[in-house]
Amino acid sequence: MANRPEGLLPVSTYVGYGAGQIGGQILRDTPALILPIYMTTVLGLEAALAGLVIMIAKVWVVIADPSAGIVSDKSQSRWGRRRPFILLGGLVAAVTFVLLFFAPDLQSQLMLFIYMTAIYLILNTGYSMFSVPYLTLASEMSEDPNERTTIISFRSAALAIGLIIGGALAPKIVAWVTQEMGGTPREGYEWMAMIVGSVIAGSTLWVFFGTAK
């Protein structure tokens, strides 16, 4: 490590950048995988309304993604033009991910629909603020094509970790709390949200500080 050629980024920077994809992949896949089940079976939201929640949030991404790119392109700060958005967007998404699964016990279908739609919209806004600058940052970290390939390879490795946590571990946490610990389904999803949300927040902080140089 001490004798790496000049011009190459530190390995810690590769790892720091790649770590961001762990949280990004969770945010991309986990709500799509388990949110419909949670809304219909735990919250009791009608299936049509649950589908509408997801559709509205996904349509909003069409606006939020290019907006995040335009704003970060034009911004300047002591931390660079991408990293402040990565930090803010990732933390907003982490908090709202938790709030998705801590829905209040609302008896009204309309109020429940409004709550879930609002929180999911904020989550996707945070995700856009995080993901668009994050993906762009890789091309700005080095002018060397080989270095860029190395940077992306670390992101690809972290993607697999995010898939395991968001796609396999998250449902396992719900099942473990309900079946092994005797908790209710609502408690299972709450524990899952706190654990996975912490991973998202940790991933965000890691990429922010890991790419500081």
What confidence tens digit (pLDDT) does each residue in 108-160 have?
A: 999 999 999 999 999 999 999 999 999 999 888 888 888 889 999 999 999 99
pLDDT tens across 177-210, in order? 999 888 899 999 999 999 999 999 999 999 999 9
The tokens 């972290």 sit on which residue?
Answer: 158
Q: Name which of 21, 34, 23, 45 is nearest 192 in CA terms.
A: 34
Count of CA atoms in the C-beta half-sphere (13 A) of 107: 0
Q: Say if residue 1's pLDDT is above 50.
A: no
Q: Say if residue 44's pLDDT is above 70.
A: yes
CB 39 within 8 A of CB 53: yes
Q: Name which of 58, 62, 198, 33 is nearest 121 in CA terms.
A: 58
CB 55 within 8 A of CB 32: no
Q: What number of helices (H) and strands (E) belong to the chain?
A: 7, 0
What is the rounded CA–CA span in Å between residue 185 and residue 40? 12
Q: Say if residue 7's pLDDT is above 80.
A: no
Angle, helices 47-74/11-37, rounded to nearest 10 degrees: 150
Percent of the chain with pLDDT over 90: 77
Q: Name which of 1, 2, 17 is nearest 150 in CA terms.
A: 17
Q: Say if residue 211's pLDDT is above 70.
A: yes
Residue type, 198: S
Kindly state the tokens that stand for 93.
Answer: 């998404």
Q: What DSSP string runs through 93-137?
A: HHHHHHHHTS------HHHHHHHHHHHHHHHHHHHHHHHHHHHHH
